[in-house]
Structure 1
Amino acid sequence: MQKVESFLEVMDLKTRARRVVFHTKDHIEAPNWSPDGATLVYNSGGLLYRVPAEGGTPERINTGALAKLNNDHGISPDGKWIVVSDKSEPDTFSRLFILPFEGGAPRQVIPQAPSWWHGWSPDGKRLAYVGARGNRTLNLYSCPVEGGSELRLTLGDWMDDGPDYSPDGRFIYFNSTRSGNMKLWRMGVDGASPEQITFEEDRRDWFAHPSPDGKWIVYLSFGTDILVTDHPPNKKVQLRLLKPEGGAPEVIAELFGGQGTINVPSWSPDSTHFAFVSYQLV
């Protein structure tokens, strides 16, 4: 991977102004905003860190024996827990774990692997995630936070990824190649009635994140100079804004970024800002 510097930024939805919260010569990814609005959580080098949302010195979050975290992690609606995807043990396949927000011993959620987390239901009771089972086709699943049986939400030879719940708990937004291109879709939380919501053939769209007030979706958009199933780092990308029911998207930023720019939910709790990561080649 090319060497980059990382900029943890927040954007004001109303003014479109960008503010750098933290700059580092390390590679960082995937900021989450805590429900109290005070903290941003991001990952770097297989570990988790927190930094004040207004800026300051990051501190490492204790994740116990987990030290090979993917960039798929998120904070529970009540702010008490963090879910992570980690590939430390026993076979380097990613699995889901939950640990206290302040840090501590992790608990494995389900044994099935590989699994990559992406969404927490607004009532705090279920997790939505990506899984490869059997023939390794990527499909979407959900399970109770306490663990137990997983529910398969999608089934096909295409690739589904990036599930995130709507704030009213009615829908799961996701990205899929089922149309022949990587576009945004939504479906019921049980997988029913999938419908496509982005359509531009000259873009590949990833990681739809609904705002807490339910008015907007922010997402990451690549050009077509990549494979339809790919979402690489270190590319020129766009951040786009869309109404939940679809329509014409608005380009709100063009930057040097990639899969770790905004692959997890990152809205501020009042829906006025969202966080993302941009990069600069060294």
Structure 2
Amino acid sequence: MSGWVSRLMIYDLEEGQAMPVLETGLEIAAPNWVPDGTALIVNGDGSLFWVELDDPELLEIDTGLCVNVNNDHGLSPDGDTLYFTDHSYGGAARIWRMALGVDEADPVEVTAKQPSWFHGISPDGRMICYTAVREGLFGIYTAKADGSGETCIIEGAHRYDGPDFSPCGEWIWFNSDRLGESELWRVRADGSGLERMTEDAMVNWFPHPGPDGQVVYLAYPEGTIGHPSGFQVELRLWTGKDRSVESLVQLTGGQGTMNVPSWSPDGKAFAYVEYAG
């Protein structure tokens, strides 16, 4: 989206409105909230950036030889470890992790197989969940935090993407077009109990369960193919009460707006990125 402006935003659920944090000509994407609530992490132009909320500016995070980071990244619950997806080596997506706040801490590759795209980590920090392609099939996978013990939770001939753990760690939410248009689903972390969670005309992506059980997600117009950028989209809230859904924000965005977990630690707000031409 050359020539566009990126706006890093925070939506306050109690106030029912969004507030700008930072505006930049760099195409940034996919904010994560750090556990103490003082900063956000975003990516842009192959790098990761730290943004302090009380003095917002893009402070680049040194990721060593990983110089082609995309918008699939996140933090361990204690905030000590940063997970991210990078395309620097042979073009295939690989998941890495690195210690934060440690001088000369080099990233360590997590997944033994590629392509793999990081999306979330369990509340106890012991498991990661991610999207991967194995033998030509998309699937949702889990592994231990060090990448060992890769386990396929669900896979098939259709698209499976955007996995994220529920606050209790029992469920993994994701989006899939297994029955037509992309809808939100959840499955237990052991692969049982598959359940469809939305059924409407919108094309729904990237569900993120919040601390109180609500789920914020990205909704494209009917008929949208994939998850493109620069579209008129909505951020919606699945409330858990009779599976009702509320439209919170209409914006220009899509890919990059909310790919990864972005709830504030107290569950009162979430972060996202919108774009303006």
TM-score where L is the length of structure 2: 0.96
Give the equivalent residue in structure 2 for 1:95: 94
Q: 1:184 to 1:245 in 2, by over 3 A?
A: farther
Distance in structure 1 (CA, Å) of the matches to 2:158 and 2:242: 22
Distance in structure 2 (CA, Å) of the matches to 1:180 and 1:236: 21
Give the equivalent residue in structure 1 for 2:256: 260
Mapped contact 1:217–1:241 kept (Cα < 8 A): yes
Residue 266 (structure 2) pairs with residue 270 (structure 1): yes
Per the TM alignment, residue 102 of structure 1 is displaced from its structure 2 partner at its CA by 3.2
Residue 62 (structure 2) pairs with residue 46 (structure 1): no
Bigger CA drift: 237-246 or 217-226?
237-246
Give the equivalent residue in structure 1 for 2:131: 130
Residue 96 of structure 1 aligns with an amino acid whose one-letter code is: I
Residue 202 (structure 2) pairs with residue 203 (structure 1): yes
Residue 184 of structure 1 aligns with an amino acid whose one-letter code is: L
Q: Secondary structure at the match of 1:153?
A: strand
Give the equivalent residue in structure 2 for 1:83: 83
Give the equivalent residue in structure 2 for 1:224: 222
Q: 2:233 aligns with which of 232, 237, 241?
A: 237
Give the 4+ runs in structure 1 shifted more than 4 A.
none
Unaligned runs of 5+ in 2: none
Q: Secondary structure at the match of 2:154?
A: coil
Q: Secondary structure at the match of 2:35?
A: coil
Give the equivalent residue in structure 1 for 2:112: 111
Q: 1:219 to 1:270 in 2, by over 3 A?
A: same
TM-score where L is the length of structure 1: 0.94
Deviations 1:88-117 (A, max 9, x none): 11x210011001223631011122000001
Q: 1:256 to 1:152 in 2, by over 3 A?
A: same
Mapped contact 1:21–1:54 kept (Cα < 8 A): no
Residue 247 (structure 2) pairs with residue 251 (structure 1): yes
Deviations 1:99-146 (A, max 9, x none): 1223631011122000001110111001100001112x2111011112
Per the TM alignment, residue 51 of structure 1 is displaced from its structure 2 partner at its CA by 0.7
Identity of aligned residues (%): 39
Give the equivalent residue in structure 2 for 1:160: 160
Q: 1:241 to 1:55 in 2, by over 3 A?
A: farther
Distance in structure 2 (CA, Å) of the matches to 1:36 and 1:246: 32
Distance in structure 2 (CA, Å) of the matches to 1:69 and 1:149: 24
Backbone CA RMSD of aligned residues: 1.3
Bigger CA drift: 26-35 or 11-20?
11-20
Mapped contact 1:5–1:27 kept (Cα < 8 A): yes
Per the TM alignment, residue 224 of structure 1 is displaced from its structure 2 partner at its CA by 2.0
Per the TM alignment, residue 50 of structure 1 is displaced from its structure 2 partner at its CA by 0.6
| 1:50-65 correspondence runs (5 A) | 50-65=50-65
Residue 218 of structure 1 aligns with an amino acid whose one-letter code is: V
Q: Secondary structure at the match of 1:155?
A: strand
Residue 271 of structure 2 aligns with an amino acid whose one-letter code is: A
Distance in structure 2 (CA, Å) of the matches to 1:64 and 1:246: 47
Q: Secondary structure at the match of 1:175?
A: strand
Unaligned runs of 5+ in 1: none
Distance in structure 1 (CA, Å) of the matches to 2:161 and 2:18: 28
Distance in structure 1 (CA, Å) of the matches to 2:261 and 2:254: 15
